[in-house]
Amino acid sequence: MTYIILSLAVFTLGLIAVYAYFIIKNEFGISKYEKHAKKKIDEHMKRVINSSEAVLNESTEKMNRLLSQTNHFKGTIESQAKMIFEDFKDRYVASLNSELASVEKQYEEAFYQNMKDLRKKLDGRFKEQMDKTDELVEVFKKTQFENVTRELEAYRKQQEEKSVQELQIIFTKVLDDVVKKSLTKEDQKRLIWSSLESIKKDFFSGKK
Amino acid sequence: MNDVLSFFEGLILVSDREKLIDQIEMVRREIFAVSNSETLEQTLKKQLSESRAKEFFLYLSKYKKNIYDGHIIEEILESLRGKAMDLDVVRLSLAIDMSRSEISELHTKLTEQLNQRVLLDVHIEPSLLGGLRLEYNGVYLDLSLSTRIKGMIQPSR
């Protein structure tokens, strides 16, 4: 038993020793290679970066040059376009103005002609209306004058008749009173007889 | 007309004619009431004045017909009534009232002037003041004092 246990212990230790050996061996071996590789890579990378930077700088420079050229062209084009536009604009505006002036003139002439015609027509109609108005005024004046005269005459007549009637009423009343008071019954009878005798003989037969 | 002269002599006013018409009607009624014991004249005397009764009796006798025949008498009376109604009327307006005799004188004068028997329709209108106004057969004659005064005042046109 002891033998077995010792054998197992020796065997286990042997295994541990082997395992440790490989671990240590692997650890130190990789590190060395990696360092070497890293160094190589770094060097390569450095070269690549340097090369890229140089290319980049060159490209940037070229870009800047192109940009500068572009800006220059752009400015030139813009100024030329501006000149062309201004020139075109001036010519177009001048042409428009001329056309407008021509149209305006035409309209103006047509307008004045129309106005002239209208004025002529209106003058004719105005004169006609004035003539008619004058006629109407004359008729109106005459009629009004006649009406007023007639009304005044009627009013005067009415007033005259009224006054006469009033006077008649007063006189009649006064005379009636005087006659009534002064006439005796005998006078009345005499009046009746004299009235009766004053009737002409043929009066009734003539009227019959 | 002569045969009715006695009747119409007393007719001056329209009211007289109305009275006569009433009498004619009365006689017409009485004719049928005559009894055998009395004459027509006696019957009429009961209702009318003696003179008027006589007038009627004489008038009826003039026809020399049987005056006791009621129908004949009725015809005669109707004829008398018709003659009375045919008399023309003069409308006479006076300012004062006059007596019957004065009116009768006026009537006589008017009858002369008109040359025919007429009746008077007398109206008293104090507003006439004096004189008269008459209307006959559509003819109007104003001889009143009031109209003469108005004529004096009214201006000539």
Asked if residue B129 has pLDDT above 70, the reply is: yes
Same domain membership, residue B93 and residue B70: no
Q: Which residues does B67 contact at the CB level (< 8 Å), separation at least 6?
A: B40, B60, B61, B73
- Residue B56: exposure state from Cβ atoms within 10 A (0-12, 13-18, ≥19): buried
Same domain assignment for residues B137 and B70:
no
In a domain, A9, yes or no: no
Mark whether B67 and B11 lie in a shared domain: yes
pLDDT of residue A57: 93
Q: Is residue A111 part of a domain?
A: no
DSSP state of B64: -
Helix, coil or strand: residue A157: helix
Cβ-proximal residues to B55 (8 Å cutoff; 6+ apart), any chain: B6, B7
Q: If 0-12 CB within 10 Å is exposed, 13-18 middle and 19+ buried, where does residue B102 land? A: middle
All residues of chain A having their beta carbon less than 8 Å from the beta carbon of residue B149 are: 171-172, 175-176, 179
Q: What is the DSSP secondary structure assignment for residue B13, as one 8-state letter?
A: B
Among B44, B67, B85, residue at a domain's last position:
B85
Contact B109 A196 (CB under 8 A): yes
Kindly state the percentage of chain B with pLDDT values over 90. Answer: 28
Token pair in block for residue B92 = 């006479």
One domain, residues B18 and B33: yes
Give pLDDT tens digits for B26-46: 887 777 666 555 666 777 777
A197 to B109: CB separation less than 8 angstroms, yes or no:
yes
| A184 located within any domain | yes
- Let me know if residue A173 belongs to a domain: yes
Tell whether A71 is covered by a domain.
no
More confident residue, A175 or B146: B146
Residue of B nearest to A170 (CA): B153
Contact between B62 and B3 (Cβ < 8 Å): yes
> Is residue B81 located within the same domain as residue B6?
yes
B149/A206: higher pLDDT: B149
B66 and B110 in a single domain? The answer is no
Q: What are phi and psi of B92, to 5 degrees?
A: -120, 120
Average pLDDT over residues B117-131: 91
Rounded to a whole number of angstroms, the distance from the CA of B22 to the nearest CA of chain A is: 31
The reply to whether B68 and B123 lie within a common domain is no
Given this model, what pLDDT does residue B59 score?
76
**CA-CA distance, B37 to B53, in Å (whole number)?**
18
**Does the interface predicted TM-score (ipTM) exceed 0.95?**
no
The chain B residues in contact with chain A (CB within 8 A) are 94-96, 98, 102, 106, 109-110, 113-115, 129-132, 136-139, 141, 143-146, 149-150, 153-155
Over its length of 208 residues, how does chain A's per-residue pLDDT go in tens digits? 788 888 888 989 999 998 888 877 766 666 667 778 888 999 999 999 999 999 999 999 999 999 999 999 999 999 999 999 999 889 988 998 998 899 889 888 988 888 888 888 888 888 888 888 888 888 888 887 888 888 888 888 888 888 878 877 887 777 778 877 888 888 889 989 988 888 876 676 655 4
Domain containing B103 equals: 88-153
Residues B39 and B99 in one domain: no
φ/ψ of B98, rounded to 5, equals -125, 160
d(CA A54, CA A154): 134
Instruction: Output the pLDDT for position A23.
Output: 79
Q: Which of B56, B85, B114 is the last residue of a domain?
A: B85
Q: How many domains does chain B have?
A: 2
Q: What is residue B138's predicted lDDT score, i.e. its pLDDT? A: 86
B133 vs A82, B74, B108, B124, B147, CA distance in Å?
A: 129, 39, 17, 10, 10
Chain centre to alpha carbon of residue B54 = 18
The pLDDT value given to residue A28: 62
Indicate the range of A120-134, B11-25, B43-57, B85-99 predicted with least confidence: B43-57
Q: What's the mean pLDDT in B49-58?
A: 77
Q: Distance (Å, rounded) from C-alpha A126 to C-alpha A133?
A: 10
**Which pLDDT does position B1 carry in this prediction?**
47
Q: How many domains does chain A have?
A: 1
Nearest alpha carbon to residue B77 among B54, B100, B50, B59: B59
Q: How far apart are CA A190 and CA A195, in angstroms?
A: 8
Domain boundary among the residues B45, B69, B85 is at B85
**Cβ contact (<8 Å) for B110 and A179?**
no
Q: Judge: A204–B96 Cβ closer than 8 Å, yes or no.
A: no
Compare CB distances from A199 to B113, B149, B155 and report the shortest one's residue: B113
